[in-house]
Amino acid sequence: MPDSAVRRVDTALGPVLAHRDGDLWRARGIPYAVAERFQRPSPVSPWRKPFDASAPAPVSPQHADGLMGSVSPDYLERLGTDEQCQRVSVTWPSGTGDAPLPVVVWIHGGSYLTGGGDLDGFDPALLVREQRVIVVSVTYRLGLLGWLGDGDFAPANLGLMDMIEALRWVRTCIEGFGGDTSKVTVMGQSAGGDAIAALMAVPEARGLFRRAIVQSAPLGIGDRRGAMQRTMLRTVRPVDPTMSLDQVLDANEEIYRATRKHGLKGLMPYGPQWGRYPLPPESKRADATALAHDVDLLLGHMSDEGVLVGAALPPLGKAFRAPVVGGAVQHAVAGSLQAAVYEKAAAHFVEEHRAAGGNAIHYVLGWKATGSPIADGHGMDIPVLLGDPDAWVEADGLKHESPDRIRRVGVAVRQAWGDFVRDGRISRESADAASEWLTLS
């Protein structure tokens, strides 16, 4: 590889060798923390020998994610799986000049069970190129390995602690990549957005980010989860700390089956546990979150989230697919499901943030993918923000859409998000350009 395709980046922890990708630079798979199984993460020790950041981050052990797998069917084989998955990947534009750039820290979704920072569907190239920002993609522990602990066999909230260590890495190292530590935005979708909402209540996370973009977080099913947590623990107890990864994955599946009886909450059984470090008790959540009033907030959801919510519940999913009457059932039920899981809780979170003195924007996104069976359902924000439009049309819900239209909608949505990342607001010009698909309040 010619010298011009490699660049040394000096960070506070040690030198990193980044690699050119066209008009972008990428430094992939950089460790930000270390942790043994069921142990809290610790910051990585500094290194002297340059770290070759050419390989993407491995993912936490998992079965393949359906949506991401439709874009990149071989992602598990290509990226590899590793319990030591605490890695970040940095993407930034070439020719950045002397002025530091805003930083976006991407927290992927996947029900706290699947995904990874370096999946093709989460490629930040278009956002970086168009908006002149630096994106740090975070990979963290998932499923039983990151979110089931009860303080007995493992601490709770290990995945959340991983994220905090990643944000500390950003604060310590991102200046070496040309990033502005005063303009750090955490951005996450689904479980990633849910985690960010939790991070806003974590004292140790205070000051690690200036802005937050919370996309399609199922905040309406995030509270009063004690009974379901007990079901999860009963399902897999006693937990053998030395179990094989196959046994870990089998346990994840058993937990999902067992938690279906808990209704909507069972859609995402894993998640932050309130009242266990580093989170305050659930009764103190609102007060703790109010202390993050200095964080600018952009929060919202897709316009038809209830379609996939209903489809994921076995009785309703069967009814949705029924000939003749299926569409009527879906129309009658999807709205109430969306309100319960997304709308009401999102509106309340925004209201509470404003009441505490914070700046908050509420959005609803609906771009009506052509011929899509899930329309503007859960996950349809990702194709117009991240990934390659030419690859996204391979996804089941986008087979009738054109890459050009995904790209056209995406340019407008990314511009609005870029405005927020830079200034904590969305300009009138950007709002007007995206008004066909994006409603702001």
- DSSP state letters, 356-413: TT--EEEEEE----TT-TTTT-TTTTGGGTSS-HHHHTTSGGGTTS-HHHHHHHHHHH
Selecting among 89, 111, 190, 372, the annotated active-site residue is 190
Q: Which among 111, 301, 305, 430 is annotated as catalytic?
A: 305
Give the H or E element holding residue 299. Answer: strand 296-302
Residues 124 and 189: their CA atoms lie apart, in Å, by: 14
Q: Which of 384, 373, 385 is nearest to 334 (CA)?
A: 373
Instruction: Give one DSSP letter per residue of 82-125, joined into a string.
Output: -S---EEEEEEES---SSPEEEEEEE--STTTS--TT-GGG--H
The domain defined by 3-440 carries CATH number 3.40.50.1820: yes
* Whole-number Å distance between alpha carbons of 414 and 7: 28
pLDDT tier for residue 320 given thresholds of 50, 70 and 90: very low
What distance in Å separates the CA atoms of residue 320 and residue 328, rounded to the nearest whole number?
A: 8
The secondary element (H helix, E strand) that includes residue 28 is strand 24-31
Residue 315 has pLDDT above 80, yes or no: no
Identify the pLDDT of residue 324: 38
190 tagged catalytic: yes
Asked if the bond preceding 61 is cis, omega within 30° of 0, the reply is no
Q: Which of 303, 378, 401, 430 is catalytic?
A: 378
Radius of gyration of the chain (CA): 21
CA–CA separation, 325 and 339 (whole Å): 22
Helix axes 245-258, 226-236, angle to 10 degrees: 140
Q: How far apart are CA 427 and CA 433, in angstroms?
A: 10
Q: Is 378 a catalytic residue?
A: yes
Q: Is the pLDDT of residue 2 over 60?
A: no
**How many C-beta neighbours within 10 Å does residue 376 have?**
20
The yes-or-no answer on residue 331 being catalytic is no
Average pLDDT for residues 108-119, to the nearest whole number? 96
What phi, psi does 423 have (nearest 5°)?
Answer: -130, -5
Sequence-ordered list of residues with C-beta below 8 angstroms from that of 293, at least 6 positions apart, any chain: 353, 356, 357, 358
More confident residue, 303 or 323: 303
How confident is the model at residue 334, as a pLDDT?
80
Lowest mean pLDDT among 57-61, 137-141, 266-270, 348-352: 266-270
Q: φ, ψ for residue 365 (rounded to 5)?
A: -115, 130
Is the confidence at residue 119, as pLDDT, over 50? yes
pLDDT band at 345 (very low <50, low <70, confident <90, very high): very high
pTM of the model: 0.95
